[in-house]
Structure 1
Amino acid sequence: MRALGYYRTDAPTVGEENGKSQQEFESEFQDYCYVNLHQPVEIFGDLSPADDGKYPEYERLVGYIRDSGSEFLVTVPDATHLGGDLEAVARAFLSLENMGSKVSCQDDDMPDPLQNALVTLGAPGASRERSEKIRMSMQNRALRGKGLGRPPYGYRNGEDGTLEIVKDESPVVELIFRLYTRDRMGMRLIVQHLNERGITTRRGGNWNVVSIRDILKNTVYIGTYTRFGLRLPGSHEAIIPRDVFREAQDIVRERRPLGRVSRPEPYLLSGIAFCESCGNKMMGVTRRQLWRNKDGNRSRATYRYYQCQSRNNQSVCGYHTWREADLEGAVLAQIPLAIEMRALRKLAYRNGGDKSEQALKKIWEERVRNAERRFSQTLRKTASGALKTDQLERALAELDKARTLAEKSDQPVDVSDMLEKWGERDFDEKRDFLLTHVARVEVSDHMARIVA
């Protein structure tokens, strides 16, 4: 394959002792191409960034690929030559890949740029050798049926590393399986049953549908240890008999909805609306009904609501149900006055003493941090092969949007024009507007109050 080389003499991994000369970088590129049967075309090297922070030779590399209209292999000594942090590496990697080029590191042990970046730019002190030793040690423990990490509910890691039953928790596991198999309770009713009786999780919190589902599907409760693709039956004492576990799996399959997969439209206030009673989020709920009329014809309707997530997932709090149109209408009606009041507060507190303004700033900072965490998680999964690069690209786009909206939240806006043409706007325009100018919506049974 035709290959282009690129390096930066100021890359973090170059600044060791005397570094490397340009001739050494070029020689390594030639050697790499010779060994791997690539045709060397040209090499680009930057000594330092320009005043605008961009690397001139990298920009020339991008222009070269774009103008040629051909596919190349772009090779770098390691991922730090693409950027000084994980985000910069991901952006450069995606940019080159989207032009039809392939990117590779001149590192025989770790040629993938994303995997290479996690090692060279990951957590302080991270090293390939240490990571490999940890991985091998964990695999060896798994082969011996030794517990890794936090043990599942009902068990603890014993002194020898094997899973041991926790006598205060195992009866709860037995109760969950009994309610599901013998009493035929659904998962939501089991959640309600446990929470109403004050039976808490290991951390003292309320149960939810996900935690119940995970217990019902976990083979650890029949004494089978599963990790790293290994399956070791009889590695520890079981809490649930195998026939009861199999019955639970049969019920799970029976209750799994078949046929059409429902993909409801997203909700405008997702992540913005919160229950005033418990502080948890209000979630969008879609209900579909089908009935037969007196004339024999069938009718169907779809109803969309916002309800308290605590009630739906943990059977605590109340539903505090609002129809989608009613809640969104109440929010829109308050926006002009809320934004006007915010502007007046700024004039009254020029010295930055407005506590509500400081609270809003924290909300926006948290939204950006959440987007940064999602990007980091997506990068790691993409590097492991669990996700495709287009999902990494979407995570970067969401991060860019979060930062842009945080900056725009402090800028003046023509609210009247936006609201007058609200029905003509698409979902993304409406969502961006709300995310920019509404930090939070507090919802009770009869009132919704926005914080802008």
Structure 2
Amino acid sequence: MIKAAIYVRVSTTKDSQKDSPEHQISACKNYAEDMGWETGDNIIYEDRESGANITDRQAIQQVVRDAQSGAFQVIIFAALSRFARDIGDSISLKRKMVNALNIRLISIDDHYDSDRDDEMLFSIISSVNQSVSEQISRSSRRGKRESALKGNFTGSRAPYGYHREIRNGLKVLVPDDQQTAVVRIIFQLYTANKMGEKAIVEYLNDKGIPSPKDGIWGITTIQRILQNEAYIGKNRSSKYETKKVYTNVNDTSERKKVLVQRPKSEWRYANKVVTHQAIIDEDTFQLAQALRLERGGGERGGIRQKINIFAGIIKCAHCGASVVSMKSKSKKTDRDGREYRYLICSRRRRQGDAGCNNDFWLPYYPFRDELIDTMSNTLRNITSAEELLEKHKGLIQINQSDLESEMKKLKKRITDNRKCLFELRREKMSGQFHDEEQYNMEKLIYEKEIVQCEKRLAELTEEQRKKSDLTELYEQVMDMLDELLDLDFDSFDEMQLILKKLLSEIKVSRNGDIQVVTTFGLSLHELESD
């Protein structure tokens, strides 16, 4: 008997009862029964994910895998709009299922049957679906903007210092007594006491005042508070928008949604000048903005200049945070006329002693020049892979276990983030999440973390494979070393890429000890010990 799979999709709680997963499944089962086809719970696919890239959705991936294994011969949809709402995605997936895997595709509402109808009809239906989806999205955004202009607070979470209440049919911000006092202290320390952001972080942490997340304070949190116009009673909206970004010009299915900040000229404010009770007066707030520009040396933002060639490699030995490059506020220069820069634990920089006790400052340029020189000489002294294996066999095996440990941690982070993403989507589906921008922002954070972890896991898997063939690894290291020495420091991206292949990590300790681990899994000190 022919086996028929059923695919249902619901991406929003605002879909009508007609489009509920239960209704879709029932309609598809009835159709299969009328056709004399067999269905089963193991080939019913319920997709509740949303996102720009259809191929990343787990339900779609499972459908393709099961089709390849011969689990079904037909797949039924209540409507092609449930299949995909992007015409490019629809046609690509249709060709994979129908043309490549010989799966019959049925859409009940559209009266489409791939055994009878050609691709032109499929394309027309898909094009209409995409147009309708885009129109609904525009209407939803317009409705949200209008709601904000009327004075509604449309965010999912109230800013620190406020909580949300419904008054006269509007969602408004109401000051929280305890947190209000902290917000005022932050502005007072910054404007009247002339304290910097880091000094304020240390002050709050020393006083044991919990941060908005009930943890320790960091510089980013202070910066956001100092810039948030909600504290002067203004309800600002349309600051961010979601854009579709294509990551591979050769494959348009590889894309993602990113949250980007609109130009200030496009930000919108409620029709009322003041929509809720202010915590900070206008003069104090504007003084804080002027001080931020003055202390920051002018307009903030823009593209950051790449300086730290060890970014992504160098870590704090105490807390594991990245070690970042900072420039001296005194504007002094080194003996070569370069601005003085130093490396410091990023958590220490953001959160002070409460974040990390590693207060060591490492002069950047002398460290960079000396490390590249030492690394080049040390690796050049290795004459063959056989010599390396003979002298360091035990250590190489030990470092393989370190590799496996990191891979295990990455897998756990991927699992944890997927759980968080699932919970976020569940909240949205249950109606607990009303702010589309906030939802997209949090969703992107989890998705970005997953992608980064998966990328690093793939790198470690490849590194593990290469280390099993020490001869191949040795030859690659020697080739990359030649490339490194041919580059100058202006070739930042190329040099950084090579360094990431030559070095596994650099750890900086509070006492100034620096451990540099090569791609062989051995430190430079261990390689030099011969």
TM-score (norm 2): 0.49
Match of 2:269 in 1: 230
Alpha-carbon distance, 1:346 to partner: 8.1
Match of 1:122 in 2: none
The DSSP-based 3-state class of the residue aligned with 2:183 is: helix
- Gap regions ≥5 residues in structure 2: 10-24, 33-63, 69-85, 95-122, 239-267, 380-387, 419-435, 441-450, 468-472, 522-530
Match of 1:361 in 2: 407
Stretch of structure 1 that moved more, 419-428 or 317-326: 419-428
Partner deviation per Cα, 1:372-416 (whole Å, 9 max, x = no partner): 9xxxxxxx99xx9xxxxxxxxxxxx99997576344312141265
Alpha-carbon distance, 1:275 to partner: 1.5
- Judge conservation of contact 2:314–2:322 (CA < 8 Å) in 1: yes
The DSSP-based 3-state class of the residue aligned with 1:315 is: helix
Among 424, 431, 441, the residue aligned to 2:496 = 431
Among 286, 289, 306, the residue aligned to 1:249 = 289
Distance 1:341 1:304, change over 3 A: farther
The DSSP-based 3-state class of the residue aligned with 1:107 is: helix
- Judge conservation of contact 2:508–2:515 (CA < 8 Å) in 1: yes
Paired residue type of 2:269 = L
Alpha-carbon distance, 1:282 to partner: 0.9
Alpha-carbon distance, 1:266 to partner: 3.6
The DSSP-based 3-state class of the residue aligned with 2:215 is: coil
Instruction: Say whether 1:303 aligns with 2:310.
Output: no
Partner deviation per Cα, 1:283-334 (whole Å, 9 max, x = no partner): 1224487679xxxxx9942233321112222223343222335378299489
Question: What are the within-5 Å matches in structure 2 for residues 141-152 of structure 1?
Answer: 143-146=150-153, 148-152=155-159
Instruction: Say whether 1:174 aligns with 2:184.
Output: yes
Distance 1:253 1:449, change over 3 A: closer
Among 117, 130, 135, the residue aligned to 1:110 = 130
Alpha-carbon distance, 1:173 to partner: 0.8
Q: Supply the distance in 2 between the matched residues of 1:201 and 1:399 (Cα, whole angstroms).
A: 27
Question: What are the within-5 Å matches in structure 2 for residues 149-228 of structure 1?
Answer: 149-158=156-165, 160=167, 161-228=171-238
Partner deviation per Cα, 1:220-261 (whole Å, 9 max, x = no partner): 111111224333432211111122222222323333424998
The DSSP-based 3-state class of the residue aligned with 1:156 is: strand
Among 261, 264, 267, the residue aligned to 2:308 = 267
Q: Supply the distance in 2 between the matched residues of 1:268 and 1:224 (Cα, whole angstroms).
A: 42
Match of 1:417 in 2: 478
Q: Supply the distance in 2 between the matched residues of 1:136 and 1:340 (Cα, whole angstroms).
A: 66
Q: Supply the distance in 1 between the matched residues of 2:217 and 2:344 (Cα, whole angstroms).
A: 18
Stretch of structure 1 that moved more, 437-446 or 202-211: 437-446
Distance 1:290 1:176, change over 3 A: closer
Match of 1:33 in 2: none
Distance 1:167 1:341, change over 3 A: farther
The DSSP-based 3-state class of the residue aligned with 1:284 is: strand
Q: Supply the distance in 2 between the matched residues of 1:237 and 1:291 (Cα, whole angstroms).
A: 46
Question: What are the within-5 Å matches in structure 2 for residues 16-415 of structure 1?
Answer: 77=87, 79-83=89-93, 106-108=126-128, 110-111=130-131, 136=143, 140=147, 143-146=150-153, 148-158=155-165, 160=167, 161-228=171-238, 229-231=268-270, 232-258=272-298, 264-287=305-328, 300-316=337-353, 317-324=357-364, 325-326=366-367, 329=371, 332=375, 343-345=396-398, 354=401, 356-362=402-408, 405-410=459-464, 411-412=466-467, 413-414=473-474
The DSSP-based 3-state class of the residue aligned with 2:201 is: helix
Partner deviation per Cα, 1:400-435 (whole Å, 9 max, x = no partner): 975763443121412651575342255445534444
Alpha-carbon distance, 1:155 to partner: 0.6
Paired residue type of 2:397 = L
The DSSP-based 3-state class of the residue aligned with 1:306 is: strand
Distance 1:273 1:399, change over 3 A: closer
Identity of aligned residues (%): 21
Alpha-carbon distance, 1:156 to partner: 1.0
Paired residue type of 1:177 = F
- Judge conservation of contact 1:288–1:301 (CA < 8 Å) in 2: no
- Judge conservation of contact 2:315–2:506 (CA < 8 Å) in 1: yes
- Gap regions ≥5 residues in structure 1: 1-9, 20-48, 54-75, 85-102, 120-127, 293-297, 348-353, 373-379, 385-396
Distance 1:185 1:234, change over 3 A: same
Alpha-carbon distance, 1:215 to partner: 1.3
Stretch of structure 1 that moved more, 358-367 or 320-329: 358-367
- Judge conservation of contact 1:78–1:105 (CA < 8 Å) in 2: no
The DSSP-based 3-state class of the residue aligned with 2:284 is: helix
The DSSP-based 3-state class of the residue aligned with 2:157 is: coil
Distance 1:111 1:303, change over 3 A: farther
Distance 1:400 1:309, change over 3 A: closer
Instruction: Say whether 1:444 aligns with 2:509.
Output: yes
RMSD across aligned positions (CA): 5.4
Paired residue type of 2:407 = K
- Judge conservation of contact 1:281–1:308 (CA < 8 Å) in 2: yes
Question: Number of residues paired by the alignment?
Answer: 336
Q: Supply the distance in 2 between the matched residues of 1:346 and 1:400 (Cα, whole angstroms).
A: 21
